[in-house]
Amino acid sequence: MVNVSHDIGSPEPLIRIDGLSVEFGHHEVLHGVNLSVPRGQTIAVIGESGCGKTVLLKTIIGLLHPTRGAVMFDGQNLAQLGEKALTRERIRFGFVFQQAALFDSMTIAQNVAFPLRQHTRKSPAEIDVIVASRLAEVGLPESAMYKKPAELSGGMRKRVGLARALALDPEVVLYDEPTTGLDPIMSDVINELILKTRRQRHEVTSVVVTHDMRTAQKVADRVVMLYPLSRLERGEPQILFDGPPVDMERSRDRRVTQFVEGEAGERMMEMQNGL
């Protein structure tokens, strides 16, 4: 594991994860994870299915609580906050769900307006202006506002999900597999929107969970690779790689380069051996 160091006197990272372990019953998904994310940085969290990427994301926003360890956000331990205080902190996040998670019974405009109506006292007219602005920001025409999610393509629904996540001008945007199920062109549209969001919101901090190496290499300042606990040797850290995307192909850990290159040979042998 490569640790990203901070100079003495440097600001506290916006997100700091200390010794994080998460268990479901007797099944441990994350173990002893240490990670810090400075304000304004975009990190991609990669790894094969079942390694705990989405669990990590949900723990960062407080949807899941650590079994051991702590998640610190802006100097506060999220697990120690009461429900009201935790809700206030969550408003500082935008979450882009894997399948967009839009409300089927609502129009697109109503979906994007939902967090504004829940968490602000803005007038309907003010909300309408913000909704139109956010939809334009992700490249959706005004005509889309009055449609239902079922009337849109998968790529358009993903963009609505991003517009909703940006409605409250979050300090942190969390992306859960933002390009899953999309064709290469639409995947790159989403990647460009992630970059655009960062350019337009200079202090935004982003955590992108993905298995798509094109996304990781294009949008991230830094890549963190998790590995399934069941396949680690005793005492090995769960984070196999932590560094700039360009360094991944030069990693001395064969498991990292295999993931980058999409090689299945050794993994197939492991599966045949029941591992």
- Residue 259 near residue 48, CB atoms below 8 Å: yes
User: pLDDT (tens digit, 9 = 90+) per residue, 191-221?
Assistant: 999 999 888 876 799 999 998 999 999 999 9
How far apart are the C-alpha atoms of 41 and 173, rounded to whole Å?
Answer: 11
Reported pTM: 0.87
User: Encoding tokens for residue 203?
Assistant: 């202090």
Reported CATH class of domain 1-92+170-275:
alpha beta
Domain residue ranges in the chain: 1-92+170-275, 104-169
Question: What does the DSSP assignment read for the chain?
Answer: -PPPP--TTPPPPSEEEEEEEEEETTEEEEEEEEEEE-TT-EEEEE-STTSSHHHHHHHHTTSS--SEEEEEETTEEGGGS-HHHHHHHHTTEEEE-TT----TTS-HHHHHHHHHHHH----HHHHHHHHHHHHHHTT--GGGGGS-GGGS-HHHHHHHHHHHHTTT--SEEEEESTTTT--HHHHHHHHHHHHHHHHHSTT-EEEEE-S-HHHHHHH-SEEEEE--GGGSPTT--SEEEEE-GGGGGG-S-HHHHHHHHT--HHHHHHHHTT-
Inter-CA distances, 57 with 18, 137, 197, Å: 14, 25, 19
User: Encoding tokens for residue 143?
Assistant: 């005509």
* pLDDT of the chain, 275 residues: tens digit per residue: 334 444 444 578 999 999 999 999 989 999 999 999 999 999 999 999 889 999 999 999 999 999 999 999 999 999 899 989 998 999 999 999 877 788 999 999 999 999 999 999 999 999 999 999 999 999 998 889 999 999 998 889 999 999 999 999 999 999 999 998 889 998 999 999 999 988 887 679 999 999 899 999 999 999 999 999 999 998 899 999 999 999 998 899 999 999 988 865 555 555 555 55
Amino acid at 191: N
What is the DSSP pairing of strand 205-209 with strand 172-176?
A: parallel
User: Encoding tokens for residue 270?
Assistant: 């492991």
- Residue 62 near residue 84, CB atoms below 8 Å: no
φ, ψ at 87 (rounded to 5°): -60, -40
CB atoms closer than 10 angstroms to residue 10: 9
